[in-house]
Amino acid sequence: MDFRDVNTGQLAADINNCLNSLDCSTSEEIRGSIAEAGVWQAASRSTLQTALGTLVDDRYQSLKDLLDSYTAVPGKMARHTELRDEIERLEAENARLAAQNQSTSRDLDSAQSNGAPASATAQMSTSITNNNNAIRDNNTTITNHRAEIERLENEITGIVGS
């Protein structure tokens, strides 16, 4: 899944607008009015009361519950995008560090062949080790981010698919 083109702020605002637009006050007023015995004496009064009750208590509530669950989706989408961007950044850094290691390894081989002082070759070896450690740490972070992305995708699918 890729949510980079989703304006999560606007999506969150739109979901909240839908929630705020759910207004069952008119139905509640009618329901309350016809509940009074003197207002309406027809046999259909009970049918209308039941229908309004279903509308307000069941349908509006179901829609409100659904929209409430959707409010979590924009944040999950934004986090998903942040993680994808971070993975791309770390992969680019790993590529840069690996290229730097190749260059440093060639320089180290050359320095050792030419009898360079041990301090110079030690510094190059340390640089390679540090880069390898950074690559390892980045790979661990990438693996963790991918697991979180998978979890987020499952959560989003669970919310939207319900």
> What pLDDT was estimated at residue 45?
77
> What pLDDT was estimated at residue 138?
98
In a domain, residue 60? The reply is yes
The Cβ of residue 108 has, within 10 Å, a number of other Cβ atoms equal to: 20
> What pLDDT was estimated at residue 116?
87
pTM summary value? 0.76
Q: For residues 65 and 98, state if they share a domain.
A: no
Q: For residues 96 and 63, state if they share a domain.
A: no
> What pLDDT was estimated at residue 54?
87
Q: For residues 93 and 64, state if they share a domain.
A: no
Q: For residues 97 and 127, state if they share a domain.
A: yes
> What pLDDT was estimated at residue 37?
67
In a domain, residue 76? The reply is no
Structure letter (DSSP) for residue 90: H
- C-alpha 44/C-alpha 5 separation (Å) is 51
Last residue of one domain, picked from the residues 50, 70, 90: 70
Which stretches of the chain score pLDDT less than 50? none
Q: For residues 35 and 97, state if they share a domain.
A: no
Q: For residues 54 and 117, state if they share a domain.
A: no
Pair of tokens at residue 143: 């693996």
Q: For residues 155 and 87, state if they share a domain.
A: yes
Close Cβ partners of 12 (under 8 Å, ≥ 6 residues apart): 71, 74, 75
| Domain housing 116 | 82-160
Counted domains in the chain: 2
- C-alpha 103/C-alpha 112 separation (Å) is 14
